[in-house]
Chain A
Amino acid sequence: METHGKSYWAIHYLLLAAFVVFALFPLFWLLKVSITPNDLLYSEGVRLWPSRITADHYASVIAHSQFPLFFRNSVIVATTTALFSTLLAAAAGYGFSRFQFRAKFWIVGLMLITQMFPLVMIIAPIFRLLKPLGLTNSLAGLVIVYTAFNVPFASFLMQSFFDAIPKDLEEAAMLDGANRFAAFRKIIVPLTLPGLAATVGFVFTAAWSELLFALMLNSSSAASTFPVGLLAFVSKFSVDFGQMMAAGVLALLPVCLFFVFIQRYLVQGLTAGAVKG
C-alpha cells in the first residue's frame, strides 16, 4: 500500500473539514436565528452567536401557530407514503430482479420516463384529475401523488438491493421446502433490511419536504403540510425569521431521529459470508 506523508493527511483532513463546515453552515444558521431574540436579529449585525438567546420563537410556534397541525399532517403523509411506496417498490423491484416477463423492457422504460419531466408540467392535469375525485384539500390525495412519483425510483433502488442477493439462497430455500413467497419472506426480506430501510428513508424525506404539490393541491390549512406552513411566516409586509427558523428546526427533528434509528440497517455487509470462501 502507498504511504503518505504528514502534509498529505493534513491537507486531506483540511479539505474534509472545509466541506463539512460548508455543508453544515446553513443548518447552524437556522439554529442560530431560531434562538436569537427579535430585537437582536437586525441590531447586532452578522455575528456567529447572539449575545442573548431565547426560546420564545419555539414557544410561540408551538402554542400560537398552526404549526402543530401542519406537523401532524406531514407525519401522516410522509409515513403513509413511505410505507406504501416501499411495499410497492419491494414487490416491483423483486419482480424486475428475479423474473423475465413480457414487456419488462417497456415497463422499466416507462417508469424511467416518468422521472424525466419537471413536475411543474403536470400539476394542472393532476389537479384536474384529483378535483372531481375529491382528493384535493385532502391528505389522501397527497399520499397518492407522492407514492406515484416515488415508486419508480424506489423500485430501481430495491431492484439493485435484490440483485445483490445471490439467487442460490432462494433456490436453496425452495429446495428446503419453502414456496417462493416463503423464501422471499424468510430469506430475502431479512437480508434486504438495509435496502428497505434506505428506501423508506429516501421516500420519507422526499415526502416530508415536498412543497410544490402540497401547495397547489391543498389550499385549506387543515390539509396543509409543514413546508406550506412555513410560508405562513411570510406576510405581506414582513418575514418572521425567528419563528420560521424555529419551525424549521422542529421539522428537521423527525428526519434526524428517523435516520438515527435506521442507520444501523444502512450499514451494509449483511450478505458477506453468504457465498464463497
Chain B
Amino acid sequence: MAAIRIHELCKSYGDAKVLRSINLDIDDGEFVVLVGPSGCGKSTLLRLIAGLEAITSGEIRIGERVINELAPKDRDVAMVFQSYALYPHMTVRENMSFSLKLKGQSRDRIAAAVDAAAAKLEIQELLDRKPRALSGGQRQRVAMGRAMVREPKAFLFDEPLSNLDARLREQMRYEIRKLQRDLGTTSIYVTHDQIEAMTMADRIVAMHEGIAQQIGTPADLYDDPANLFVAGFIGSPAMNFIEATLVHERAAADGVTHSMVMVGSERLGMVQHAAAVRKDGRVTVGIRPERIALGSPAAALATRIDLLEPTGLGTVLHLRLAGQRIKMFTTERLTAGVKDAVGIAVHPGDLLLFDPDTGVRVR
C-alpha cells in the first residue's frame, strides 16, 4: 500500500496531446475514480501509472519512488482489465498463482494465498476450472482474486464492470468497494459511468479532452461543479442548462453583486456572484432537475409539458420554459398530462451560473 503522486503528467501520440498537465495526489488507501467520456484520456492515465505506455513528460511516484522509467513488472501494481484478461490455457488456480510463481514463492505459500483470496471472493469451487467455463461475474471475481493474491501497492481498475449486465454490475460495485475497504489498498478506478463514479469513489477526477476538469468528492462534483462539462456529465437526468440574462440590480458592500436572472420575460430569481459576467449579461444557468418543484399556479413560472417519462421512483417531465427545453424530476404523483400547462418553482440558491463562452463557473 502506498500513496500515489502524479505531477505535471503529459502524454502525446505524435502531435495529438492525450493528457495535459495532470496533477493528482492520491492518499494511501484512497479509492479514486477517473471518469469521463470515451477519448478523454482516463484509460491512458491508468496505463501510464501501470507502465504499459511511456510517459511524455512529468512524474509519477508510488510511495517515495519515482516510477517513470520502471518496467510494469517492477511497479508492484495489479490491474483488473475490462476484458478480465484471464489466461485461457490456465485454470483459475493457475491464473491466481501466476504472479506469485514468477516471484519464486514457495508452493505452500502460494496455495495459502490463493485459498485465502478464493475464500474471500467465494470462488473456492471454481479453482480447477478454466476461464471459458465461467460466467461473466465469476470471471470478474477471478480477475479480482488474481490482483488480490499479490498484495500490491495499488489496484488499477480499467472499466471492470462494463461487460456485466445491470443487476450484476450493481452487485459487483458494492463488492469491489467493500473488498477495497477491507484490504485498505490504494485504488484507481476508470469508468465512463458517472453512477459508478458517484457510488464508489472517495474522490472523483472528472476528465475531458486530456484535462482533469475537477477533482473532488462525489458531493463536491455534484453540488459545486467547476464548469459546464462537469455539471453536465455528473448526474442523471442531466443538469438543465438555460440561456439567460443577468440584470444587474445592485452591488452590495462586500463586493458581491446581486442580479436578477431573466429567461425571456420570466424572472427566475435573484442570485449573488462576486465574479464579473459578460457585458451584455448573458449567462448559462444550470439547475438540477430534482431541484425544480411544481409550484402553485399563481406564483410559478409557466411551462408546458412536452413529454412524461415515468421511472417508477418518480417522473421526469420534459418542459418548455420560454421556448427552451428543460427537464424536472419529481416523486409526486402527477395528474397533469402531455401538453398541459404546469407551474414550476426554483430556489435561487440552486441556480448555478456559467460563462456561456468558456463554460467556467461564475461564482
Which A residues lie at the B interface, using CB under 8 A? Answer: 166, 168-169, 171-179, 182, 186-187, 190-191, 270-277
Contact = CB atoms under 8 A, between A and B. Distances in A.
Q: Is the interface of B mostly helix, strand, loop or mixed?
A: loop
B103 A177 contact: yes
The 7 closest A-B pairs by CB, nearest first: A273-B132, A277-B136, A275-B83, A168-B85, A176-B99, A172-B85, A274-B88
Contact of B83 (A168, A173, A175): A168
A275 B85 contact: yes
B164 interface: yes
Given A174-B73, A175-B50, A175-B72, A274 B102 contact: no
Nearest to B80: A172
A173 B88 contact: no
B170 to A, nearest CB: 16
Interface in B67-108: 71-73, 75, 77-79, 81-89, 98-99, 102-103
A176 B73 contact: yes
Nearest to B87: A187
B133 interface: yes
B7 interface: no
Contacts of B135: 277
B88 A271 contact: yes
23 contacts: A166-B85, A168-B85, A171-B50, A171-B81, A172-B87, A174-B72, A174-B73, A175-B51, A175-B52, A176-B78, A176-B98, A176-B99, A177-B102, A178-B73, A178-B102, A187-B87, A191-B88, A271-B88, A272-B88, A272-B132, A273-B88, A274-B131, A276-B83
A276 B86 CA distance: 10
Contacts of A166: 83, 85
Contact of A172 (B81, B102, B134, B139): B81
Given A166-B85, A169-B85, A273 B72 contact: no
Contacts of B81: 168, 171-172
A191 B84 CA distance: 16
B56 interface: no
B177 interface: no
Given A171-B72, A175-B50, A175-B75, 10 more contacts: A171-B50, A171-B81, A172-B79, A182-B102, A191-B88, A191-B89, A270-B89, A272-B132, A273-B134, A277-B137
Contacts of B51: 174-175
Number of chain B interface residues as a range: 35 or more
A196 B135 CA distance: 30
A166 B137 CA distance: 20
A248 to B, nearest CB: 39
B130 interface: yes
B146 interface: yes
B38 interface: no
B163 interface: yes
B70 to A, nearest CB: 12
Given A270-B88, A270-B89, A175 B163 contact: no
A270 B130 CA distance: 11
A141 B131 CA distance: 47
A71 B81 CA distance: 52
B79 A175 contact: yes
Contact of B146 (A176, A190, A276): A176
Contact of A277 (B50, B102, B150, B164): B164
A178 B100 CA distance: 11
A276 B85 CA distance: 9
A173 B163 CA distance: 21
Contact of A274 (B52, B79, B86, B99): B86
Given A174-B72, A175-B50, A277-B135, A190 B102 contact: no
Contact of B52 (A174, A179, A187, A270): A174
From A179, A274, A277, name the one whose CB has the most chain B CB atoms within 10 angstroms.
Answer: A277
A168 B46 CA distance: 14
A212 to B, nearest CB: 41
A270 B88 CA distance: 7
Q: For B75, B79, B85, which residue has the most chain A Cβ atoms within 10 angstroms? A: B85
A186 B90 CA distance: 10
Contacts of A171: 50, 52, 72, 79, 81, 85
A274 B87 CA distance: 6
A164 to B, nearest CB: 12
B319 to A, nearest CB: 40
Nearest to B52: A171
A277 B150 CA distance: 25
A179 B71 contact: yes
B186 to A, nearest CB: 15
B88 A177 contact: no
Contacts of B89: 190-191, 270
Contacts of A270: 88-89
A172 B34 CA distance: 20
